[in-house]
Amino acid sequence: MKREVLFKTETDLCAVFLAWLKRYPDWVAYAETEGWDILLAHRDGTQIGIQAKLLFNMKVLSQAVEDGGGWSKTGPDYRAVLVPQGQGWEVLCSALGLTLIQARKGYRTEFEFNPSLEEQSWTHWHYCNPEKRHPLPAYIPDVAAGASAPCALTKWKIGALEICAVIEIRGHVTRTDFKLAGVDHRRWVESWLEPVADIPGAWTWKKATGPMFLQAHKEVYPQVLAKVRERLVI
């Protein structure tokens, strides 16, 4: 019997999972963060790293586990593989210290995921005991989880958005601004910026649009803009 196709893409699978996650308000999802399709963070600090695949395979296993002593270094408290239902592999995942999260259609066509994040379901989870948890971004990423070529909201990207915000607010940027944002100014000067004639050591956009990644974070950028505006006023 041919298996029903529940999701067309891994992005669809992740989107449905994130919609289901809203019933657990204590968990916050960070898409495409620290190498995970989804990194979940609980308000108490607990983290779950999730890799999603439409078809369980060795690639997703290699993404979810680490070599050598990686288990005891920086990482989430729990690691999981997210797949559609009916593929098995629970025993293998358990042996590797992973949790297999499976999607299924609910009674009212809504999707359910097993195991859940209820307290009684934690017997299905395997604590990894990391020395340090992943550092979380200052903003919740406004990117699609599970995309084949994700536009991740990295630490550098946040710094770059801060530079864009400074230019929008003040009209120019200086080396001090780059230092505060943790961004090397040289690539910017070569690609996107030009000197301001009457302000020594200051640059502004060569073109009004700025770098393309500014358009990729339309939800996060206003938050960055507000934070930078407050800092510059102070």
How much of the chain exceeds pLDDT 90, in percent?
54
Q: What is the mean pLDDT of residues 104-109?
A: 71
Kindly indicate the confidence band of residue 1, based on its pLDDT and cuts at 50, 70 and 90: very low
Q: How far is CA 234 from CA 227, 228, 229, in A?
A: 11, 10, 9
- Spell out the domain ranges in the chain: 10-124, 155-233
Mean residue pLDDT of the chain comes to 87
Residue by residue, DSSP assigns 58-91 as HHHHHHHS-SGGGGGSB--SEEEEEEESS---HH
23 burial type by CB count under 10 A (0-12 exposed, 13-18 middle, 19+ buried): exposed
Task: Using the Cα atoms of residue 65, residue 70, residue 71 and residue 75 in order, give the sign of their dihedral.
Answer: negative
What span, in angstroms and rounded, lies between the C-alpha atoms of 153 and 141? 6
Token pair for residue 192?
A: 């996107």
CATH number, domain 10-124? 3.40.1350
Q: Is the pLDDT of residue 90 over 50?
A: yes
Token pair for residue 122?
A: 């934690």
Q: What is the mean pLDDT of residues 3-30?
A: 90
pLDDT at 12: 95
Q: State pLDDT tens for residues 124-158.
A: 899 988 889 999 999 999 888 988 777 788 888 89
